[in-house]
Amino acid sequence: MKNIYLDNAASTAILDVAIESMTEALRLYRGNPSSTHRYGRKAKAAIEKARKEIADIFNATPGEIFFTSGGTEANNTVLHSAIKQLGVQHIVTSPTEHPSVKNTIDHIHEYYKIPVTYLEVDSAGRIDLDQLEKVLRDLSDKKTLVSLMHANNETGLLHPIEEIGQLCEKTGALFHTDAVQTVGHLPIDLSDGKISFLSASAHKFNGPKGIGILYIHQDNMIEPFIRGGNQERNVRAGTENVAGILGMARALTYGHEQLQQKRNYVTTLRNYFIGLIEKELPEVKFISQKSNEECMFTILNLYFPKSENTDMLLMNLDLEGISASGGSACNSGAATESYVLEALGWNKGGKSIRFSFSFQNNIEEIDHVVEVLKNNI
């Protein structure tokens, strides 16, 4: 049986070069990076070299890059610290954010009584920039944090973070973006200072699991959310994951070097898949935008109308060796429908399946997936 992996929005295969970097780190860097002896200094130097490589990719300074256990920790750190340390009095967000943002904001609202404004979204998940501008104008007398993801993890819709950043700068609001789905795949330049905080996770760009990035603009430095030692310049306590950091830096560097080639190739795969679905399965509808300008080129979410086979479709794909997803991996196993798709009006009784691509997929795999779909709906 042919195994086809089309769940790259949940996690990607780690690159050989990243594994090599990690293996080397595990062999060479036995010392604790906080130790002052030669073994500690050697490990610390390797971390700082990786930090500079990552900062250069973002056009940021090394002092603005912090290492976390992943996107969830980075998002929690930003949201809690903005309230407790930076004096944020109001949060502006959307109803389609990742669970690590949505659930954290729900908690903050419930326990700290911080008011939250949820922007309206259309059937694709787009926010209205005019509404955002009006909301920020009305909140100009309050310290406000805007938290909007770069690309939606279920639909792939891209928010215009440059324009959002400009509105936040104009009104004095802080801007946090969960860029977990886009870092390593799209160019992101943080040099203009319009983004206050950015979250990323290595396993979404062919790096290791359990390591991530938190960018904090130099004007918004925070005290540690996780307390303990003074690691990460006293912003994130805990002994550093040296091998994970080096593997992540290598994967991100590779992704940055191959950025356009990967984008062109994966866009071709996605467009080919769209064309086949339109031709062979015209009853299937597109939840994701077909345009690669509006949608992350790695993601395509499809809606299969209700039939006697739709409830078993994802399982049948798995039995055929095809790995896809019913939505966010962080909500897998949940009994309820996706709150993201419900907000977009897709709670119609059918089945949504997210296919997410990488440069490691090929045209023959796409042909086979469509053939299996034809035989199972």
- Active site amino acids: 330
Count of CB atoms within 10 A of residue 336's CB? 7
Sign of the CA dihedral running 243, 249, 255, 258? negative
Which of 199, 213, 251 is closest to 22 using CA atoms? 251
Rounded Cα distance, 266 and 270, in Å: 6
- If you write DSSP's letter for every residue of 192-228 in order, what string do you get? TS--SEEEEEGGGTTS-TT-EEEEE-GGG----SS-S
Distances in Å between the Cα of 269 and the Cα atoms of 278, 297, 301, 321 are 14, 9, 14, 19
Rounded Cα distance, 25 and 56, in Å: 21
Residue 174: its H or E element: strand 174-178
Residue 351: its H or E element: strand 351-356
213, β-bridge pairs: 67, 200
Q: Report which DSSP code applies to 230.
A: -
Rounded Cα distance, 88 and 247, in Å: 35
Rounded Cα distance, 315 and 311, in Å: 8
Match 């994970």 to its residue by tokens: 244
The answer to whether 340 and 96 have CB atoms below 8 angstroms apart is yes
What residues contact residue 257 under an 8 Å CB cut-off, 6+ apart? none
